[in-house]
Amino acid sequence: TPPPDVSHGLPGLGGEPYGKEYYQALLQEQEERHLSRAASLKRQIAQLKQELQEMNDKLKSLQEKKEGPGLQGLVDGKDQEPSDLLEFLHSQIDKAEVNTGARLPSEYALVPFESFTTTKVYQLEMGLTRHPEEKPV
């Protein structure tokens, strides 16, 4: 802050200019603020790096625990895995649209947003709706 005996005008414009010490003090204050901010940011970065390392260690230990019994299970029961895979694939096929969608005579029977089920809305490309025999009026 400027000394109290100096006028509040701009420095060098009619008022007494501030001394060299004043500007050096301002620079020193700004430098101290910047240094403290930099130190604070460095501490934050170090803390975040440490947290990241801890999370990575936890993740690796969880993956090792998960993989450990899995590898032994593969060695012990090789015949069991294909049945699990087949079961999974059959469940995916059962969930597929081919089995649960509405049965339509052909792809040309669809009109954009006219045919839908509780889970699907059929929107077509422009070419599929222009079949002359089955186009709705």
pLDDT by residue for the chain (137 residues), tens only, comes to 555 555 454 555 545 578 899 999 999 999 999 999 999 999 999 999 999 999 999 999 988 888 765 545 444 544 456 778 888 888 887 776 565 566 666 666 655 555 555 565 555 554 454 444 554 55
Note whether residue 15 is domain-resident: no
Q: Are residues 118 and 85 in the same domain?
A: no
**Distances from the Cα of 98 to the Cαs of 13, 41, 51, in angstroms?**
85, 57, 48
Q: Give me the domain span that covers residue 110.
A: 104-137
Give yes or no for a contact between 108 and 114, defined as CB atoms under 8 angstroms apart: no
Q: Are residues 76 and 115 in the same domain?
A: no
Note whether residue 14 is domain-resident: no
Q: Are residues 86 and 35 in the same domain?
A: yes
User: Residue 122 corresponds to which tokens in the numbers above?
Assistant: 């059929």
Note whether residue 26 is domain-resident: yes
The pTM is what? 0.36
Neighbour count for residue 114 (Cβ, 10 Å): 12
CA atoms of 74 and 53, how far apart (whole Å): 31
Q: Are residues 88 and 108 in the same domain?
A: no
Q: Are residues 108 and 74 in the same domain?
A: no
Q: Are residues 134 and 109 in the same domain?
A: yes
User: Residue 19 corresponds to which tokens in the numbers above?
Assistant: 């001394």
Q: Are residues 49 and 82 in the same domain?
A: yes
Count of domains observed in the chain: 2
